[in-house]
Structure 1
């Protein structure tokens, strides 16, 4: 087996250290004992964008907020689905993630960060959400492995009742809150419903080929 090569590390504010590995032509981002991302398994991250775009009710110029750049798969898929007048704001807390995207993982980025439709904000996505009202047609969250603060405890507030209320307020009427998770979570489903969202749960595969582990995406529509 090809060994993993440590490329770089990054400190998550208020959380643990991220590590970027390369194994052959593949990249892995890990935290503690958890593998957060693997460039071989992009299917569910792409589905997060594609299925969100398919559920938009707005006109030809929607505005999306993507929380967590990751390896850029969600951003790339959204840009491929959206028209020329769309806007996509990307909120990424860890600057090194963007450095990796423009450096060792530039081939995966494929110029998405330089697309004129994209605004990059080096900021906590919860703060970006909380600072606006009625701005976004969709908010796509993939900042943890599910609806809890894995990368940093502070992320718990994103998935709390208060955090969901702020997300709902930041959406335009009929907007979509889409949350990626490695596994189901019945308590979070109930929390979404109690926050006034109509909820759809969709199971997707980790690989674009339709194989690999099953992941889950909540699509919560604001009333």
Structure 2
């Protein structure tokens, strides 16, 4: 059942659909997220954040259904700061309305602030401003939903994200599919990279999702924080 629609700044529309007690968000014929499948969204945070120390500042690109945010809250200390950038205003409205039960207390956490704007702008405005950047703003490292997202995944965008990270920081990017060329481009931008495949539902019906974990050390040289690749992870 169609519950609501959301205009995407720059063009396009998202649809919120209910299936009994579950919800999904669609872009055309593409399912962007569903309340019954969230392992990889959680893993985006649980794989990237445990290594952070002190009073980390984390930027999450894409509010979605709140699964990455909830996992970040559980992974971070009370001194942390979590900034969530959401381009589509209606997504924030759904988080306090139709999808409120999924968010629980996430939006009331004093560590959390919501920026209703393009995550790209926050990245370029805050050099060395973040200890981690978690991106789940499209269906992969391209501009399917918004052509403006191409800026994030371009060679220039990858260098900008590296500049926005503090020494020892980590960039984590979610994708519905693997992309070997993107892995190479992350390395070319100066990151040490691990590509992790996430088993989404313990069946062979749905393909694995992919998360790239990328970091640089404090000297600006490539670190050895992550290996080259990892087998399928059940998050």
**One fold, TM greater than 0.5?**
yes
1:161 to 2:152 alignment: no
Q: Paired residue for 2:85, among 67, 79, 91?
A: 91
* Structure 2: gaps (5+ residues): 218-235
Q: Deviations over 1:40-68 (max 9, x none)?
A: 00110001011111233x32x11100000
Task: Summarize the alignment of residues 30-179 of structure 1 with structure 2, pairs less than 5 Å apart.
Answer: 30-56=26-52, 58-59=53-54, 61-179=55-173
Query: What secondary structure is seen at the aligned counterpart in 2 of 1:53?
Result: coil
Equivalent residues, number: 215
Which consecutive segments of 4 or more residues in structure 1 shift more than 4 A?
Answer: none
The aligned runs of 1:22-33 (5 Å cut-off) are 22-33=18-29
Considering Cα pairs closer than 8 Å and 6+ residues apart, tell me whether 1 or 2 has the greater RCO. Answer: 1
1:142-221 to 2 correspondence within 5 Å? Answer: 142-207=136-201, 210-211=202-203, 212-221=206-215
Q: What secondary structure does 2:49 align onto?
A: helix
1:7 to 3, 7, 12: 3
User: Distance in 2 between the 1:79 and 1:200 partners?
Assistant: 23
Deviations 1:132-158 (A, max 9, x none): 111111000000111001111110010
Query: Structure 1: which 5+ residue stretches go unaligned?
Result: none
Q: Say what the alpha-carbon RMSD is for the aligned residues.
A: 1.1
| TM-score, with length taken from structure 2 | 0.89
1:111 positional shift:
1.6
Distance 2:3 2:62 in 1: 20
> How far, CA to CA, are the matches of 2:158 and 2:116 in structure 1?
21
Deviation at 1:26, TM superposition (A): 0.5
